[in-house]
Amino acid sequence: MGDYMIQIEHLHKTYRSGFLMKPKLALKDVSFNVESGQVYGFIGPNGAGKSTTIKVLTGLLNFDSGKVLVNGISPRDVKSRRFIGYSPEQPYFYDYLTGRELLKFYGRLVGLEGSLLDSRIHWALELLHADKDWIDRRLRSYSKGMMQRVGIAQAVLAKPKLLILDEPMSGLDPMGRRDVREAIQELNRDGVTIFYSSHLLSDVESISHRVAMIVDGKIVREGSVDEITESCGVEYHVRTRTTILQNDLPEGVAPTGHPQEWVCVDDAARDRLLAFCLSNGIAVEKMDHKRPSLEDILTEEIARADA
């Protein structure tokens, strides 16, 4: 067994709501592990259970049954908080404070004082590219993107072993998203394990070691990005210099609409097409390896759950 920062086994969580307090199962037999030193993406549609899982991990929500450990400690034990930095999707801060005052307040909460606190604030602001003049303005004047940067900055002040981020790219412009991606990667290079949820699946594909996909409270896929995308079939697009009659196309090969481009459903179809081209003196100009994106696969899983 690897060195796990997060272990979740057979997790169930029920909410009760409405006048009759009718139970609704929010998490259904959720199981996955996050190894120390990983960047782990947690994806799924709204209401699938992402924030509920994160609140269980941070000890903000209790759960019905199952096993949940953070660095070997139950989140029901207050000691687990020592290892965790957390930024929620919609942080609420005292908006009469400036960004710098807020960071001083949170820094003191985690035991930082004096010059160490000042240097840690300077480091966190540089990491998030938030060392700008607006950091000394009151939070009530901040945009969503500014608030997001400050929220992540407070989460890293204590240099946690595990950083948990709920939708860290939400509300950020393209430059802001790049800054947060780079901050996540830099923290990870320093040995921080990062567990985060996101709707921006291209970002998830580019920075995650592993991904769990949750739909309707259940984990539907889990693995590396390559494992997940390759498990859904890989196509090959081949362009030839001359056209091929449709009747001559090998099995598993179909036209794309472009007169000299063909789609092969798998490796075997690609090999048949290449052999056909070789034996008939047809030049191959280009071949692309096409596989579905995480977005394609998630869309398919949501449709399957709704069917």
HEC sequence for the chain: CCCEEEEEEEEEEEEEECCCCEEEEEEEEEEEEEECCCEEEEECCCCCCHHHHHHHHCCCCCCCEEEEEECCECCCCHHHHHHEEEECCCCCCCCCCEHHHHHHHHHHHCCCCHHHHHHHHHHHHHHCCCCCHHHHCEHHHCCHHHHHHHHHHHHHCCCCCEEEEECCCCCCCHHHHHHHHHHHHHHHHCCCEEEEECCCHHHHHHHCCEEEEEECCEEEEEECHHHHHHCCCCEEEEEECCCCCHHHCCCCEEECCCCCEEEECCHHHHHHHHHHHHHCCCCEEEEEEECCCHHHHHHHHHHHHHC
Contact call for residues 97 and 138 (beta carbons, < 8 A): yes
Q: Which residue is listed with tokens 């660095």?
A: 71
Sheet (strand 218-223) strand order: 84-87, 162-166, 193-197, 39-43, 210-215, 218-223
Confidence of residue 186 (pLDDT cuts 50, 70, 90): very high
Q: What is the pLDDT of residue 44?
A: 94
> Are the C-beta atoms of residues 8 and 32 closer than 8 Å to each other?
yes
Per-residue pLDDT band for 17 (boundaries 50, 70, 90) equals confident
Minimum mean pLDDT range among 38-42, 149-153, 183-187, 259-263: 259-263
pLDDT at 283: 93
Within 10 Å of residue 64's Cβ, how many Cβ atoms?
A: 12
Q: What percent of the chain has a predicted confidence (pLDDT) above 70? A: 98
pLDDT of residue 288: 86
Is the per-residue pLDDT at 1 higher than 50?
Answer: no
Under the banding of pLDDT at 50, 70 and 90, the label for residue 2 is low
Q: Which residues fall within 8 angstroms of residue 206, CB to CB, at 6 or more apart?
A: 181
> 4-229 sits in which CATH class?
alpha beta
- pLDDT > 90: percent of the chain: 71
CATH number of the structural domain 234-290? 3.30.70
Please give the Cα distance from 154 to 117 (Å, whole number): 12
Domain layout of the chain by residue ranges: 4-229, 234-290
